[in-house]
Amino acid sequence: MPPARPYHSIVLIKQVPDTRNVTGDVMTPDGTMNRSALPAIFNPEDLNALEMALDFKDRYGGTVTVMSMGPLQAAEVLRDSLCRGADQVILLSDRKFAGADTQATSYTLKCAIDKLGEYDLVFCGRQAIDGDTAQVGPQIAEKLNIPQITYAESIIEADEGDIVVLRAFDLGTELVKCTLPCLLTVVDSANQPRPASARKRIEYKLAAIPAEYPKLLKKWPEFGSEEVLENYLAERNLMITVWSAADLNADESQLGLGGSPTQVHKVSYVVLETSESKDIPATPEAFRH
Amino acid sequence: MSERNVWIFIEQDGGKLADISLELLAKGQELAQTLGSQVWALLCGFEVGELAESLIQHGADHVLVVDHPELEIYRTLPYTRVAADLLRERQPYIFLVGASPVGRDLAPRIASAVKAGLTADCTDLQIGDYTVKKDNVVYKDLLYQIRPAFGGNIIATIVNPKTRPQMATVREGVMRRREPDLTRQGSIENITPVFQPQDFALQVLSREMREPTVRLKDSPVIVAGGAGVESQSEFDLIRELANVIGGEVGASRAAVDAGYISREHQIGQTGTTVRPRLYIAAGISGAIQHRAGMDKSNKIIAINTDPNAPIFQVAHYKIVGDLGEVLPLLIRALRERVK
């Protein structure tokens, strides 16, 4: 294998409500949901995508940039990404992005990738647990006009212009070779994501977006003003970049709810069927019949 | 378009038609009848022309056959090229794709190319009207794309009022296919694809696919375990019961995540959808994610320590008790009966 060049990777992540642990507090008696009772977490397969990108960087050198589209609270998963080893993180946040379906989301992320410039690989998790659609990755790849490798299990090797990747399905595997740049969606069996490093946790404790400055000032009043704080963060490379719609040079008609071809006609909370049912006591006698 | 045709993407591997494609042909016929239009099948592959007749027998009125060596093994870009070009040219009203690994790779790519709205993993499709009150506009006869959302905790009906085709991927096993009608008539049209060099950016170096070892979908009896199973040896009771009554073993996501059994056995929104004659749920609380995959079973027996577990609300027979105690009793009772 030739000593390959350093590669520039972009990882796209999402902060999601932890829909896998819906408990009694979340579902109200009338069947509606109390979403705020769900903790916001790093989408699990996006962690696998980040790990694959970091491992790729460990092997070949290069950079890992992590981007997330979401509300300002999503700065949390970006900070987490820094602590796990990302070089740079960018938050895409704007009211104009809100209500986006997968088409509008992929358009927004595509614009952000274009703005970032040169890249070799884009990594996404296979799907996010709040929507389970697995659509955004392929839709971005099409908009970037690059090939996609879904269900990526591992990167076998890379050279100047190609990458060899193993894809994993429930019923088999496929080994593919693909030109760069390309987009990968990563499955959860791909790897065991590394934890955040303790050293980096300290290093990035203050990493913040401007909206978080008041909170930081409250905790560390010695900074005195947002300006002093910002200078301090800037000197230490701790400012988390936030891009708005205006920063992306995007066609605003394709963003957010207005740019979404799909619309929600109706939402029904799941009502359990009441069927005729029979209780059976858990005794040997009862089962004899 | 006035024709309002319903297109189905036909998935095949080595000349074997995917079940989901046949299920979609049947559903497509239902939708087309409501719309007064036709079902068109889009069949891509190499040396697959023979399958066209079978597609007509299963509900296609017209089959587009795109037969080319470059389409022999599924690859995203050549397939996207073929489908997107045809969709732009012929403008169908609806385009349905199976929510299989292939379909979930292909459909979003195509939707992005033709700028159509796409809904993933639908469990039901209907035709109905959609009113935008704010603009006082009524969109007639749209495709209602019905799917579980938010981890399966809600059921959402999605529509694409403006973009065409209205695209959806549909879960396997949810719709029923029809018995082939050998007398059914339809037409076949051969299409010559036009590729671009960049369509071949990806090569398949090797491929190893195996036949499914678990046939959950076709099994008339399923015994499934969930989070209430506390050890591997308890899960072995599930296997034993399945053995005794000649059923297949299923599991909720919790049991799969716990490592008791492989993901192939998972039933629910992110696993297989089943509708057996008898479903025994042991230690499964019945989160909607799981129920979405089994609540159409003919008879459901639920065993759970929690009398308020949601599974009891869909169960026909309720057994409140610890599965570690209940299952051995059931197994013994069944064994005695066999003797």
Distance from CA of A257 to the nearest CA of B (A): 12
pLDDT at residue A274, rounded to an integer: 47
Cβ pairs A/B, distance under 8 A: 218
The parts of chain B modelled with pLDDT lower than 70 are 1-2, 151-152, 338-339
**Same domain, yes or no: B39 and B171:** yes
Give the closest of B109, B295, B336 to A141, CB-based.
B109
Tell which of A26, A103, A264 to mutate to test the B interface (max B CBs under 10 Å).
Answer: A103
Query: What is residue A40's three-state secondary structure?
Result: strand
CATH number at residue B114: 3.40.50.620
**Same domain, yes or no: B152 and B24:** yes
E-strand stretches of B70-136? 94-98, 118-122, 124-132
**Same domain, yes or no: B157 and B223:** no
Range 14-73 of B in CB contact (< 8 A) with A: none
Diameter over CA atoms, chain B: 71
What backbone phi and psi angles, to 5 degrees, belong to B133?
-60, -40
Q: If residue A7 lies in a helix (H) or strand (E), which one and from where to where?
A: strand A7-13
**Same domain, yes or no: B86 and B220:** no
For strand B221-225 and strand B248-251, is the pairing parallel, antiparallel, or unpaired?
parallel
Distance from CA of A222 to the nearest CA of B (A): 43
Query: What's the number of CA atoms in the CB half-sphere (13 Å) around residue B301?
Result: 20
3-state secondary structure labels for all residues of B213-243: CCCHHHCCEEEEECCCCCCHHHHHHHHHHHH
Residue B30 near residue B23, CB atoms below 8 Å: no
- Provide the ipTM: 0.91
E-strand stretches of chain B? 6-10, 12-13, 16-17, 39-45, 62-67, 94-98, 118-122, 124-132, 137-149, 154-159, 166-170, 187-191, 202-209, 221-225, 248-251, 278-282, 299-304, 317-320
Query: What's the number of CA atoms in the CB half-sphere (13 Å) around residue B25?
Result: 28
Structure tokens at A30: 């009338």
Last residue of a domain, one of B167, B200, B233: B200
pLDDT at residue B1, rounded to an integer: 45
CATH number at residue B306: 3.40.50.1220
The parts of chain A modelled with pLDDT lower than 50 are 1-2, 274, 289
Last residue of a domain, one of B170, B200, B230: B200
**Same domain, yes or no: B148 and B17:** yes
First to last CA, chain B: 66
- On whether residue B205 sits in a domain, the answer given is no
Structure tokens at B21: 């494609």
pLDDT at residue B80, rounded to an integer: 98
Distance from CA of B177 to the nearest CA of A (A): 23
Residue B118 near residue A135, CB atoms below 8 Å: yes
pLDDT at residue B148, rounded to an integer: 81
pLDDT at residue A27, rounded to an integer: 58
Q: If residue B287 lies in a helix (H) or strand (E), which one and from where to where?
A: none
Distance from CA of A286 to the nearest CA of B (A): 9
- On whether residue B211 sits in a domain, the answer given is no
Rounded (5°) CA angle B132-A261-A271:
65
> Which is nearest to B305 in space by CA: B253, B234, B244?
B234
Q: Report the distance separating Cα A95 and Cα A82, nearest Å.
A: 25
Is B264 within 8 Å of chain A by CB? yes
- On whether residue B1 sits in a domain, the answer given is no
- On whether residue B209 sits in a domain, the answer given is no
Residue A265 near residue B157, CB atoms below 8 Å: yes
Residue A274: CB atoms within 10 A of its CB come to 8
Q: Which residue does chain B place closest to A38, by CA atoms?
A: B150
Structure tokens at A14: 């999402």
**Same domain, yes or no: B22 and B106:** yes
- On whether residue B207 sits in a domain, the answer given is no
| Number of separate domains in chain B | 2
- On whether residue B166 sits in a domain, the answer given is yes
Domains of chain A, first to last: 7-261 (3.40.50.620)
Give the closest of A20, A177, A275 to B205, CB-based.
A177
Residue B145 near residue B122, CB atoms below 8 Å: yes
Which pLDDT tens digit goes with each residue over A17-40?
987 766 656 655 555 566 677 889
**Cα B202 to the chain's mean position, in Å?**
27
**Same domain, yes or no: B79 and B148:** yes
**Same domain, yes or no: B240 and B196:** no
pLDDT at residue B23, rounded to an integer: 96
Q: Report the distance separating Cα B158 and Cα B122, nearest Å.
A: 10
Q: Do B204 and A174 touch (CB under 8 A)?
A: yes
Distance from CA of A215 to the nearest CA of B (A): 31
Q: Do A262 and B76 touch (CB under 8 A)?
A: no
For B313, the domain range is 216-338
**Same domain, yes or no: B159 and B264:** no
Last residue of a domain, one of B143, B169, B200: B200
Neighboring chain A residues of B329 at a CB cutoff of 8 Å: 282-284, 287
Q: What is the pTM of this model?
A: 0.86
**Same domain, yes or no: B178 and B226:** no
**Same domain, yes or no: B149 and B220:** no
- On whether residue B208 sits in a domain, the answer given is no
Q: Report the distance separating Cα A15 and Cα B318, nearest Å.
A: 39
